């Protein structure tokens, strides 16, 4: 089943699902909440990516795995129970929403989908927005880790060596030609450049199924080949995992990603565009 839902499909289901807003801008603390306060879907609760979908930055990277307690508290505040159907969205790029989709599934939420095109697509389709903040819910969801496979640094290196490790950052960052965020430029040796912007079409939606399938096949994703994803800090890596899910590939995410990889100077760093 697709993890995506169109704005048009969502409009008729607003009363039957829990809607969660995860608008977010990298490096702009509090901006996501400000954007939510200015406009969000009716009934949508806000969840903060930095504070609730990630642990504190440190040795495990800029957006390490959050605790089960943090995720459970956030989902209960949104009114989520074990059998709730949840829909998440962000401003439009779907990276933050994909992180929420991935984290919630990792902690055991069974039904969670992403609004294809996010808030931008919702408003473009004529969907209403509001500034009204719903009362906190009283959900009973119990978060348990382990719902999805993970990659650690050693596992990511192994996939890069024996399978296909997809680097979700821009090709320039993968090649080490520029690095605007992390202290070291380059990529995990053997990783393949696969910018997540190429998962999206010019209309701001995910590319059709057949186009995604061809994209990943060209990158070496084939039946029987081990596949994993990583990025700078584990956010766009979840976007890559969502796109792969749409073509039937459940790829583990290296959550620490590049920002954790470079914490250990013994780990090798590759640069340049030659494999």
Catalytic residues: 231
Alpha-carbon span 105 to 246, nearest angstrom: 15
Q: Would you say 137 and 46 are in contact if contact means Cβ atoms under 8 Å apart? A: no
Alpha-carbon span 63 to 235, nearest angstrom: 8
HSE-CB at 72 with a 13 A cutoff on CA atoms is 11
At residue 59's C-alpha, the angle toward residues 262 and 74, to 5°, is 125
Provide the edge-to-edge strand list for the sheet that holds 4-5. Answer: 4-5, 111-115, 85-89, 18-21, 45-46
Query: What is the chain's length?
Result: 275
Cα distance between the two ends of the chain: 35
Alpha-carbon span 8 to 97, nearest angstrom: 18
């Amino acid at each position: 089943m697709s993890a995506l839902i169109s704005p048009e499909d969502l409009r008729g289901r607003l009363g039957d699902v829990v809607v969660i807003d995860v608008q977010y801008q990298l490096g702009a603390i509090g901006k996501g909440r400000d954007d939510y306060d200015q406009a969000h879907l009716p009934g949508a609760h806000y969840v903060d990516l930095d504070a609730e979908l990630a642990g504190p930055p440190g040795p495990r990277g800029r957006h390490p795995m959050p605790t089960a307690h943090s995720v459970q508290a956030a989902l209960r505040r949104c009114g989520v129970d074990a059998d709730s159907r949840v829909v998440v969205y962000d401003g439009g790029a779907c990276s933050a929403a994909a992180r929420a989709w991935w984290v919630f599934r990792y902690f055991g939420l069974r039904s969670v989908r992403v609004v294809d095109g996010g808030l931008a697509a919702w408003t473009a389709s004529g969907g209403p927005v509001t500034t009204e903040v719903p009362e906190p819910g009283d959900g009973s969801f119990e978060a348990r880790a382990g719902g999805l496979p993970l990659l650690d640094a050693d596992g990511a290196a192994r996939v890069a060596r024996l399978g296909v490790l997809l680097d979700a950052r821009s090709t320039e960052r993968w090649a080490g030609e520029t690095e605007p965020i992390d202290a070291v430029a380059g990529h995990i040796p053997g990783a393949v450049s696969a910018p997540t912007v190429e998962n999206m079409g010019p209309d701001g939606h995910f590319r059709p199924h057949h186009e995604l399938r061809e994209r990943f096949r060209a990158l070496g994703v084939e039946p029987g080949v081990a596949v994993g994803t990583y990025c700078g800090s584990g956010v766009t890596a979840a976007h890559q995992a969502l796109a792969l899910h749409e073509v039937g590939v459940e790829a583990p995410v290296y959550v620490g990603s590049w920002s954790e990889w470079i914490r250990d100077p013994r780990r090798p760093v590759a640069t340049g565009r030659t494999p």
